[in-house]
Structure 1
């Protein structure tokens, strides 16, 4: 019987769907797969436009319980919320009320198909939103008003922190904080006494212009920040290869 590779699964929306792409010479998916090559398969289950309601509805089809022919999920990264945080406007139905968003995240983490794998769960906050550029993108996509606001998105990121604090087995990956701190460090004239970067009130994008080119989705540079805060949580034993090293296959070499 074939010996399957266990998995790291990336479960979320377009922020995961797009992480396999090479941008600015970097691919989050590629870097993660390179880190665990020959030990774990990195599986992309990012679905553009999905919110937690959509993800929860399809979860039983996406995740099957482990079996002799179905690999075990060792790490599960969950990144959902950018679409849940959409405003209730006539041209967008993606938004999920924040109380329901919190319930959905907890249900996803505690779902029987997830628990059957007993993975290490890394729960990721949605990145910050550049609503200045995002509004332009919204108009380009045919909306008559803004679809998202930075302050609202920040509340959804805070909800992820609350869920991680309430569920001891879950590890928080604070992408919102990491991206914003990186943007501030790259913006020499940022005034911390004023509105945050990307807020309409401050009318200053700063380095979010590089990190979130369309106001929502991440650049290769931003994905590199993401990888750097995930990497310390992926622990690989010395003998993590599924199939033996070439020296074992070819004994007698120096």
Structure 2
């Protein structure tokens, strides 16, 4: 239904929704200059970008909470696209961080489970993007651990194993994937700031991909419902204005 028809009939104006589901890297992505904020800006008036990032979460906990975020038969509230961005916490070393660590085999099973669930609530594979955990600058992270009085609890080589597993799940399930672990290590990019998190420069890669996603999702949104509104016909489209 075209937007003007929706207004004339008194129907609510609901924009298509894009769901960003992940850990702290997603939760904090709406900070100034963040990749989530950039994506929301690209899609303004086209899609609502929902941040469902949960700091500290791994796939074991994410799998449990997902059904409470997206449900079947929610109509206009159903997302037109979903990103699944976990692995940074799952890949923590078991001996040093047993609370967040998730064995590789379980990590794979959890990702598959979440993809299957999203399919069951009518989110097609083509609208799912699995994002690998980003690379870790061990030197910076070691300093962070030292300040917290603990041993180094993550290794970039281990993160790479989880990244490759994520890519395999995406391939097997027919979903799209973004290999951050590889992309952020190309051309000697600075991997992390003093906090061990990816730096602003390294997030440039994600922002470039966000631009690609926004064009694809905008096309999907346009096909599913008319969201365009001509400024030349505001009074016609909104009687009484």
TM-score, scaled relative to structure 2: 0.83
Q: Within 1, Cα distance between the matches of 2:82 and 2:120?
A: 9
Q: Within 1, Cα distance between the matches of 2:220 and 2:235?
A: 20
What corresponds to 2:49 in structure 1?
A: 42
Report if the CA contact (8 A) 2:35-2:210 is conserved: no
Alignment of 1:39-78 (within 5 A): 39-68=46-75, 70-78=76-84
Q: Within 2, Cα distance between the matches of 1:6 and 1:176?
A: 30
- Please give the secondary structure, in 2, of the residue aligned with 1:64: coil
Per-residue CA shift, 1:188-233, capped at 9, x if unaligned? xxxxxxxxxxxxxxxxxxx23xx44422x22332222212123223
User: Does 2:22 align with 1:16?
Assistant: no
Q: Within 2, Cα distance between the matches of 1:158 and 1:237?
A: 30
Alignment of 1:94-243 (within 5 A): 94-111=100-117, 115-118=121-124, 120-143=127-150, 145-168=151-174, 170-182=175-187, 184=188, 186=189, 207-208=190-191, 211-215=192-196, 217-234=197-214, 235=216, 236-237=218-219, 240=222, 242=227
What corresponds to 2:12 in structure 1?
A: 2
Q: Within 2, Cα distance between the matches of 1:238 and 1:75?
A: 9
User: Does 2:66 align with 1:86?
Assistant: no
- Please give the secondary structure, in 1, of the residue aligned with 2:206: helix
Per-residue CA shift, 1:104-138, capped at 9, x if unaligned? 00101111576423360011111101111111111
Kindly report structure 1 stretches of 4+ aligned residues shifted beyond 4 Å.
none
What corresponds to 2:40 in structure 1?
A: 33
User: Does 2:228 align with 1:246?
Assistant: no
- Please give the secondary structure, in 1, of the residue aligned with 2:80: strand
Unmatched 5+ stretches in structure 1: 187-206
Q: Within 2, Cα distance between the matches of 1:14 and 1:239?
A: 27
Report if the CA contact (8 A) 2:25-2:53 is conserved: yes
Per-residue deviation, 1:165:
1.6
Unmatched 5+ stretches in structure 2: 1-10, 237-241
TM-score, scaled relative to structure 1: 0.79
Q: Within 2, Cα distance between the matches of 1:33 and 1:10?
A: 11
Per-residue CA shift, 1:169-198, capped at 9, x if unaligned? x0011111111114x1x5xxxxxxxxxxxx
- Please give the secondary structure, in 1, of the residue aligned with 2:88: coil
Q: 1:140 to 1:83 in 2, by over 3 A?
A: same
Report if the CA contact (8 A) 2:16-2:221 is conserved: no
